[in-house]
Every structure is written in C-alpha cells, then in structure tokens.
Amino acid sequence: MTAFANAKDSDEVRQYLIADYDEEIDSHCKEKNYTIISRPAYVDPSMVCHHFKWVSNRPRPAIWNISKPYPKK
C-alpha cells in the first residue's frame, strides 16, 4: 500500500511525503517536527515523481522515479 501526506514544517513550508505505510510518514513527521495537514487518497503520479519526498525505510520504488533516457554515445 502507498500512503501520501501533506505536512508543514515549523517555518510553515509545505512538505509532500510518500511512503509504504501511514506509520512511516507519522514517524518521519514526529522526527522532523512536521504537522500533517492532510492525507490524500490519490495523487497524480506526475506530481508524486516531481514533488513528493520518499520517507519509507526501503529504497524509492522505480514506479515513483522519472525514467531517464540512455545517454548518447
């Protein structure tokens, strides 16, 4: 399962977070002293790839990375 959250830090700057589970986002927010504003059920994949920070324990899944073309030789 994938969990999303919109949070803000102590300077009122928005943080867009993604993880495997809500508990991982909760733990990250507690550690960084973020306040969770909302937990959207769906986020457009292009928004996730460009703006959301992966906060789960495992590496970011390839589905949430932007593919890059092979370099020209």
Q: Which residue has tokens 């399962």?
A: 1
The per-residue pLDDT for 39 is: 97
Say if 58 falls within a structural domain: yes
Range of the domain at 34: 3-64
CB atoms within 10 A of CB 24: 19
Residue 73 lies in a domain: no
Residue with the larger pLDDT of the pair 39 and 1: 39
Write phi, then psi, for 26 (nearest 5 degrees). -60, -45
Does 71 map to a domain? no
Q: What is the DSSP string of 20-32?
A: SSHHHHHHHHHHH
The pLDDT tens digits for 20-73 are: 999 999 999 999 999 999 999 999 888 888 899 999 988 888 777 766 666 776
The partner residues of 4 in beta bridges, in order of sequence, read 18
Question: Is 10 within a domain?
Answer: yes
Position 14 in a domain: yes
Query: What is the separation of C-alpha 67 from the centre of its chain, rounded to a whole number of angstroms?
Result: 17
Residue 44 lies in a domain: yes
Give how many domains the chain has, as a whole number.
1
